[in-house]
Amino acid sequence: MMQFYKKRDFGTFISDSFTFFKLYGKNYFKNYILLNGLLMIFMVTVFVLGYKELFSQLFGSNLNGESYYLQQYFDNNVGMLIVVGILTLLLFLILMIVNYLFPVFYLKRLAEGQDKIKTDDILSDFKNNAGKIGKLCLGMMFIVTPLSFIIMGFSYVLVLIVIGIFLILLVFPTLFNVVTFLMYDFFNSDRGFFESLSYSIRSQFSYPNGREKSPYWKYWGSTIVVSIILYVVTSIFTLIPMLFFFGSLLTSTPDANFEQNPFTGTAGIFFFVMYGISILVSFFLSNMLYVNSGLMYYDSRTDLHQKVELAEIDTIGSNE
């Protein structure tokens, strides 16, 4: 069984992230699919069909000199677009809540000593923490997100000078770690939202005891490396349809490119199917990033490391 509350170095975060899925991956993704699968498929379907319709109208708007066709399409379907937009937003919010908090509840149960976790266990965690989830959503929406946008906007402005590029490389992984630490701490401690937010920020730069060197660079580096791994894998699923799609355009006759909408043919269908698959793959692979952040959070909780070690020693003694 994997130990969660312990000190880890940079390399151990990455290796233990892979070890986690080697030990628990089958059970983890079984519960993930049962809890989140239909919602993901429905969401991806809405995205794919929506993008297909949008791109079809966009590319078809200028065919045969109909320069205002796209504007007419939006004017004639404004009611439907508003309803679909609201439903899509609600689905996206629900999907994000489940997607982000599933690894939090799953790792929490493992850290508490539970080995085989069932879907009902995770469902009960969502139900029992409904109030805290609501507080977390409000805090994320009205406090964390606006502040994050301000910080990211400032970083983008500084891109005009070279230092902004390096600042973005520092800011994005750090913001991600702060947000994930906030979620883990909010449901793994008795702290309130603002206390957990404060802890999630402070823990990026120092351990609670204040006597050990800053963990910032190993947290930052671990997030960067895992993000690059996931980016390379997901890029394969986006690169293939793009190559296939543009290859079909290059091999078609010049007149056909103007007479036929490229998103309505076989190439267009293949492009959007692969696009949908890439979204699903990115959802699944993102779990490695959340688990990696969870291991970093448990590394930061040095106040519990010794308690867990003593509990394990007592358990060994009782078994003997």
DSSP-derived secondary structure for 189-240: SS--HHHHHHHHHHTTT--TTS-SPP-HHHHHHHHHHHHHHHHHHHHHHHHH
- pTM for this prediction: 0.84
* pLDDT band of 72, cuts 50, 70, 90: low
| Least confident range of 19-33, 81-95, 233-247 | 233-247
Mean pLDDT of 99-107: 95
pLDDT band, very low/low/confident/very high, at 205 (cuts 50, 70, 90): very high
The whole-angstrom separation of Cα 27 and Cα 188 is 21
| pLDDT confidence tier of residue 184, bands split at 50, 70 and 90 | very high
Determine the average pLDDT of the residues in 132-147: 93
Confidence of residue 70 (pLDDT cuts 50, 70, 90): low
For residue 1, the model assigns a pLDDT of: 77
pLDDT reported for residue 258:
44
**pLDDT above 70: residue 89:** yes
Share of the chain above pLDDT 70, in %: 73
Give the pLDDT confidence score for residue 255 in this predicted structure.
Answer: 47
Given a cut of 70, is residue 285 above it in pLDDT? yes
Query: What is the number of other CB atoms lying within 10 angstroms of the CB of residue 289?
Result: 19
pLDDT for residue 262 is more than 60: no
Residue scoring higher pLDDT (253 or 56)? 56
d(CA 289, CA 279): 16
List Cβ neighbours of 20 (8 Å cut-off, separation of 6 or more).
2, 291, 295
Cα separation, 120 vs 124, in Å, equals 6
Residue 274: its pLDDT value, please? 75
Q: 311 or 274, which is more confident?
A: 274
CA 32/CA 145 separation, integer angstroms: 26
Q: Is the dihedral of CA 20, 21, 27, 28 positive or negative?
A: positive
Confidence of residue 53 (pLDDT cuts 50, 70, 90): low
Most distant CA pair in the chain, distance: 85
Residue with tokens 């891109």: 159
Where is pLDDT greater, at 39 or 150? Answer: 150
| Cβ neighbour number for residue 291 with a 10 Å cutoff | 24
Cβ–Cβ under 8 Å, residues 229 and 287: no
Q: Which of residues 64 and 85 earns the better pLDDT score?
A: 85
Q: For all residues of the chain together, what is the average pLDDT?
A: 81
Domain boundaries, the chain: 10-128+217-319
Q: By CB neighbour count within 10 A (0-12 exposed, 13-18 middle, 19+ buried), where does 66 fall?
A: exposed
Helix (H, G, I), strand (E, B) or coil at 62: coil
Token pair for 14: 């990455």
